[in-house]
Structure 1
Amino acid sequence: MTTAEIEAAHLGEARKLNGQVTLVEYDPQWPQVFEREAERIRDRLGHVEHRIEHVGSTSVPGLPAKPVIDMLLIVPDSADETAYVPPLEGIGFQLVIQEPEWYEHRVLRRHGLAPSAESANLHVLSTGCPEVGRMLRFRDRLRTHSGDRELYARTKRSLSQQSWQYMQNYADAKTEVVEEILGRAGHEA
């Protein structure tokens, strides 16, 4: 994403990193933190058909990660913010990113989860969105293939040593290796 695209997607000012990414070793408490947050979300969204998945590096045992729990909320229509944003604001989530041109993607963030996790990013996509399958395929591939998990860990560690203006720049820099791994995952599907 370009700087203009990053800034346009954020509600309010996009937080700059202007430095290196801090990775920590895998913490076995991360799945428990995810489950606790997922349960809080389920309690608030009982009126909305939904599914919640733990995604991102904190969902893969043995993988270093930023201490941020990435969660995926799948709802019938992610563009219908009124169905899920107000109930989630009541438990501390704040809508921070809107990307209507990219699968109607939304991100809500909550800070101060636990000593092992600074925050949670709740990605919201619609049922049937191709990105949902892609995210889950990538997670599952890393969970079950040590060679790809190690390749991804090396890539993350190397890239984390560079200086990035935005966290999104770091994420985008991983695209080539992510696509390589997804290519192998697709051949086995």
Structure 2
Amino acid sequence: MPSAVIVEYDAAWPLRAQHLLAGVRSALAALPGADGFDYEHIGSTAVPGLGAKPIVDLQVRMPDLPSLARLTEVLAPTPFVPAHGSRPDSPGVHRDARRPGDQADDAAYEKRLFHSPAESAILHIRRADSPFARWVVDLRDWLRCHPEQARRYEQIKRALADEHAGAPDYDDYTRAKTAFFDDVRPQVRDWAAGS
């Protein structure tokens, strides 16, 4: 996995996300309760005008997480395969990090991570009650409504990408973005509570 490279926003990203989510939705229809799952385009590629790594992030929220083996079997018709991370401590592979102020039990942070190198896409499968799943949607929507903050975030990402250029992966880049998230979290929470 190469180091992070930030490119200009591509209007085709949401269309790719819709196409990939349609395939995922069709595959996950084999699971009980699939009608109640939430399918979402998340991350920077879901914010119009925001420069990003050209990797589309998708999220599925469901009440309970099936085993990795079961999800791998069900997702076999799609281009998604399990993602294992670049390092043993790669962030966000098996579980998400608890954010300051989160009240959920540890099990709510478990996740299943898949990727499609051919499609340049990542699929995050999280529990419906995951605070992190709610956070990424709130952050996406807040950035959509606050273009000045989206520009600020892009500037930070570009600086971090330059700082970590040549790295064998983008794990350190990903960890470094946490400072921005911690800074805006109170604003995002207040905004989401009032929406």
Partner of 1:166: 169
Which runs of structure 1 show a deviation greater than 3 angstroms over 4 or more consecutive aligned residues? Answer: none
Q: Which amino acid letter does the alignment assign opposite residue 185 of structure 1? A: V
Partner of 1:68: 55
Whether 1:34 aligns to 2:7 is no
Asked whether the 8 Å contact 1:58–1:65 carries over to 2, the reply is: yes
Instruction: Give the secondary structure class of the aligned counterpart of 2:118.
Output: strand
Asked whether the 8 Å contact 2:38–2:61 carries over to 1, the reply is: yes
How many angstroms apart in 2 are the aligned matches of 1:184 and 1:165?
34
Match of 1:93 among 45, 60, 80: 80
Asked whether the 8 Å contact 2:4–2:169 carries over to 1, the reply is: no
How many angstroms apart in 2 are the aligned matches of 1:130 and 1:184?
16
What percentage of residue pairs aligned between the two structures are identical? 28
How many angstroms apart in 1 are the aligned matches of 2:144 and 2:159?
21
Normalized per residue, the structure richer in strand is: 1
Instruction: Give the secondary structure class of the aligned counterpart of 1:71.
Output: strand
- The 5 A counterparts of 1:45-56 are 45-48=28-31, 49=34, 50-56=37-43
Asked whether the 8 Å contact 1:71–1:122 carries over to 2, the reply is: yes
Normalising by structure 1, report the TM-score. 0.81
Partner of 1:5: none
Q: CA offsets per residue over residues 58-115 of structure 1, 9 Å max, x none?
A: 00001001110000111222253344221212222110135158611221011222xx
How many angstroms apart in 1 are the aligned matches of 2:83 and 2:71?
14
User: C-alpha displacement at 1:145, in angstroms?
Assistant: 0.4
Normalising by structure 2, report the TM-score. 0.79
Q: Gaps (5+ residues) in structure 2?
A: 85-92, 98-108
Asked whether the 8 Å contact 1:93–1:110 carries over to 2, the reply is: yes
Tell me how many residue pairs correspond in the alignment: 167
Asked whether the 8 Å contact 2:153–2:180 carries over to 1, the reply is: yes
Q: Gaps (5+ residues) in structure 1?
A: 1-14, 114-118
Asked whether the 8 Å contact 2:45–2:52 carries over to 1, the reply is: yes
